[in-house]
Structure 1
Amino acid sequence: MKYKFLDFEFDSSSLILTKNNNDIAIRHNEAKLLALMISQPERVFSKEDILAEVWQDKVVSEQAVFQNISHLRGLFGNTAIKTFSKRGYQWQLALQTNSEICTGAPTKINVIEKAPSKSAKQLSS
C-alpha cells in the first residue's frame, strides 16, 4: 500500500520512501518499522511488539528500537512519532492511502463520534 504524509510517499510493500518523487535512503529495518507504524496509526506499539514484528526471530537489544525511532524522527521531525512512557510509540502524522491520494481525501485517525444528545422533550418523558 502507498501512504503519503508531509512531502513523503512510502510504499509499504516495496519499502521505498520518496520525497518529492526522489528516493530517500532508509535502512531496511527502519522501513519495516515505518510500515508497521503507519499500517496501524491508532495503535501504540511497545518495544516488544516492534522487536517481534521488525526483527522477528533475530536477537537484538532494545537499543535497536530507540535508534530506528530516532532516525525516523530525524527524517520526519520529532512530532512524527510520539513516545508514551512505559507503553510504547505511536505514529502522529496525518496519512493518505492509495485511494485517498487519488481523491485527495485525508485519512481520519482517532475520530471519536459523539453520541447524539437527548432533546428536552426526551428528557421530560
Structure 2
Amino acid sequence: MSKHQTHILVVEDEPGIAALLRFTLDDAGFSCDIVSNANDARVATAARLPQLILLDWMLPDSSGLILLQEWRGHPRSAALPVIMLTAKGMDEDKVRGLNEGADDYITKPFSPKELVARIQAVLRRKTPELGHSTLKYGAINIDTDRYQVTVENQVIELDQAEFKLLRFLTAHPERIFSRAQLLDKVWGDHTFIEERTVDVHIMRLRKSLGSAADYIKTIRGVGYKITTEV
C-alpha cells in the first residue's frame, strides 16, 4: 500500500496536537481527516472507513478505549488498523490498550518522524491481512470481515490477541517466526511486552483450536510456524 493512497482518521481533541498531526501526515504524503470527539469519529467511520486511525484515549464525550472496543466488535471495522496516541503512558495503560486491540501505542509527547515510521510499520503488518476477507488453511477458516474463526465448520472463540496471531500465521503458512518477530508483527515492537507473552497466547490458541491444535508447531530454539504437515 502506497502511503500516497492511505487515508488516516485522527481522533484528537487538543487543537495544537491536531494541527501538528495534520502537518506531519500531510508532509509524509498521507491524506487525513481530523475529528475532536467520539461521536464525530463514529459518524466519520460510518461514512468512510479510513486505512488507519490515530486515536486519543481521553476525549471530551467518551473514552478512546470505548471507541476501540466498538470498532473491534463490529465486523466492518474489526481489522481496521488503530494506533493509540495518548498522554496515558503507564505500562498498565499500554498493555490494556494493546489487549483491547490497538495495533500500536504511542505516548505524548511524540516524535513526528517516529510516528510516521510506526504508521508505516503498522500498515506493512496489516496489508497482507486486509487484502483477504477470508483465509483458509486446512480445517481452519478465518473470516476477517466477521472476525470469526471456524475449525471443521465449528465456530471457536478467540480473544483479540489470539485472533490476530492466528490470522498472521495463517497468512504466512510454513514460515518460521521467532517470538521477537511475532511480537513485532502481531503486537508491534513494544519492549514492555515480554517474549513469553507469545508462548502464553500460543498455548491458549492451541487449546481453542481443538482438532487443529497440532497445526501450530514449536520449532525448538527458533520459534513457531503453522503447518498441516505431521
Alpha-carbon displacement from aligned partner over 1:56-113 (angstroms, at most 9, x marks no partner):
144311221001111121123442111111111010137xxxxxxxxxxxxxxxxxxx
| Distance in 2 separating the partners of 1:13 and 1:45 | 25
- Whether the 8 Å CA contact 1:15–1:28 is kept in 2: the answer is no
Higher helix share: 2
Query: Structure 1: which 5+ runs fail to align?
Result: 95-125
2:175 is the counterpart of 1:43: yes
2:64 is the counterpart of 1:64: no
| Distance in 2 separating the partners of 1:72 and 1:12 | 17
Correspondence list, 1:20-99, <5 A:
23-58=155-190, 59-76=192-209, 77-93=212-228
Moved more, 52-61 or 39-48: 52-61
Match of 1:103 in 2: none
Query: Structure 2: which 5+ runs fail to align?
Result: 1-131
Which protein, 1 or 2, shows the higher relative CO under an 8 Å CA cutoff with sep ≥ 6?
A: 1
C-alpha displacement of 1:53: 1.2
C-alpha displacement of 1:19: 4.3
Moved more, 58-67 or 74-83: 74-83
Q: What RMSD, in angstroms, separates the aligned Cα atoms of the two structures?
A: 2.3
Distance 1:20-1:86 versus aligned 2 partners, 3 A rule? closer
Give the letter aligned to residue 73 of structure 1.
R
Return the TM-score normalized by structure 1: 0.62
Distance 1:13-1:36 versus aligned 2 partners, 3 A rule? farther
Identity level (%): 30
Return the TM-score normalized by structure 2: 0.36
* Number of equivalenced pairs: 94
| Distance in 1 separating the partners of 2:137 and 2:208 | 12
